[in-house]
Structure 1
Amino acid sequence: MKKVLISTIALLLMMGLPAMSAERNSRETAQVRSPGKVVSVGDGDTMRVQQGHRISTVRLACVDAPEIKQAPYGRQAANRLKQLLPPGKAVQLRPVTTDRYGRMVAEVYVDGKSINLALVQEGQAVVYREYLNGCSETQSQYLQAENAARQNKRGFWNQPNPVMPADFRAGRSQPAQSSSKPVQQPTSLPACVNSDCDCGDFSSWEEAQRVLQAFPNDPFRLDRDRDGVACESLRR
């Protein structure tokens, strides 16, 4: 009986190993970095990289730089990226996905430091919240870096009413209330407004709605259908 029990346990363990191994390999693959050399920089968040005999266009993951037409910030962002990544510079790429234009979306590292994150820290790019899940391991670092850049008015944030790059591309280019500054600062706002809020951070729908009203440009994407109501799942 004891031998049968031991054999059964061993079999169960062996059956579980492939799944555990696959999960571990999946996590490791997500963090794999491949070497390359910079060919050129297009704008504040786009570059071309050579890997072996192949040259690819790379879109920096999880960040969004001002468009070139968003003077002077778009040109400043592009020039800064050119300083950080001159032609021939050795880089490490952590691919995230391929976008609809066929570009590799990736985090770019030099000497172990993320160029994507550096741009946010300097105010040369904003966090692209819609795609921030591509940088899940460093998500909090991106949000904290943007908050610090915003508070210290670095780069793009050194203007009264910044138009977010995504809004500019969508044609919403008229300056509005800054998405980064609340219209008012009620003492009842939760601490998450200093980094990033989602619907799970609120104790009630009323609290979520107060945040939406304080930040009318909805930087936390609490009102995804744009009907003026935050976190509808919290309403009873």
Structure 2
Amino acid sequence: MRQARQAIAVAFGLAVCTVSPAVLAQSGAVAPQKSVQVLAVNNGQELLVEIDGQGRTLRLSCLQAPRPQQQPWAEQATVALAKEAPVGSRWQFQLRARDVYGRLVGTLQRNGQDLAAPLLRQGRVFAYDGFLGRCDDLPYARWQREAAAQRLGVWSVPGGITRPWDQREQTAAAERLAP
């Protein structure tokens, strides 16, 4: 019984530690910024960075890049991210959450500029609040509307390409139906 209580206490403590950054972001409290250096670009929304002397995967919050099967847009998003955040560049990282995959989730800024701005304004990625649940404190939806109005990137197709979250669901459904 004692071991069960200890296990529950440890699980609760881990859950609180995992949720805390998201709660901070949603409450309006500001998490401290950390300096990070880009080591690699994994895709249009994810980088490998050095933070506190360790290599960590960082997912940009409140946006979603096209899925790998959504070419040429997925590749364009990756290339755009690599251009904006080249290997070796330094950024200020603002933690918003940690996800179920252990990735850090947050925003990157340099010289007062948000890394997501050119990606959204060029139509390379989608503003997406489903990942964290709340992103209204960021101007991402406005930047996306600007790209859509100009029919840039993913918006060059009327109505935009299939949203990555819908693509993921369609792919999963097709796999479930496959013999």
Shift of 1:76: 0.4
Q: Which residue does the alignment assign to 2:45?
A: 45
148, 151, 154: which is aligned to 1:153? 151
Q: Which residue does the alignment assign to 1:29?
A: 30
Q: Percent same amino acid among aligned pairs? A: 27
Shift of 1:41: 0.2
Q: Which residue does the alignment assign to 1:166?
A: 165
Q: Distance in 1 between matches of 2:153 and 2:37?
A: 27
For 1:123, what is the secondary structure of its paired residue? coil
For 2:142, what is the secondary structure of its paired residue? helix
Q: Which residue does the alignment assign to 1:65?
A: 65
140, 143, 168: which is aligned to 1:142? 140
Shift of 1:134: 4.4
Cα distance change, pair 157–117 in 1 and its aligned pair in 2 (3 A): same
Higher RCO by CA contacts (8 Å cutoff, separation 6 or greater):
2
When normalised by structure 2's length, the TM-score is 0.75
Q: Distance in 1 between matches of 2:142 and 2:101?
A: 30
After the TM superposition, which residues 213-224 of structure 1 pair with which residues of structure 2 at under 5 Å, given as runs?
A: none
Cα distance change, pair 134–90 in 1 and its aligned pair in 2 (3 A): farther
Cα distance change, pair 56–40 in 1 and its aligned pair in 2 (3 A): same
For 1:129, what is the secondary structure of its paired residue? coil
Q: Distance in 1 between matches of 2:30 and 2:91?
A: 18
Q: Distance in 2 between matches of 1:169 and 1:133?
A: 18
Number of aligned residue pairs: give it.
146
Q: Distance in 2 between matches of 1:41 and 1:103?
A: 14
Q: Is contact 1:96–1:134 with CA below 8 Å preserved after alignment?
A: no
After the TM superposition, which residues 204-219 of structure 1 pair with which residues of structure 2 at under 5 Å, given as runs?
A: none
Q: CA RMSD in A?
A: 2.1
Question: AA paired with 2:124?
Answer: Q
* Deviation readout 1:69-126 (Å, 9 max, x if unpaired): 2010000000010111111100111111011111001111122211123211110111
After the TM superposition, which residues 90-105 of structure 1 pair with which residues of structure 2 at under 5 Å, given as runs?
A: 90-105=90-105
Which structure has the larger Rg over C-alpha atoms? Answer: 1
Q: Is contact 1:44–1:66 with CA below 8 Å preserved after alignment?
A: yes
For 2:137, what is the secondary structure of its paired residue? helix
Shift of 1:168: 0.9
After the TM superposition, which residues 121-132 of structure 1 pair with which residues of structure 2 at under 5 Å, given as runs?
A: 121-131=121-131
Cα distance change, pair 123–98 in 1 and its aligned pair in 2 (3 A): same
Runs of 5+ consecutive residues of structure 1 not aligned to the other structure: 1-22, 174-236
Q: Is contact 2:46–2:58 with CA below 8 Å preserved after alignment?
A: yes
For 1:102, what is the secondary structure of its paired residue? coil
Shift of 1:142: 1.3
Runs of 5+ consecutive residues of structure 2 not aligned to the other structure: 1-23, 173-179
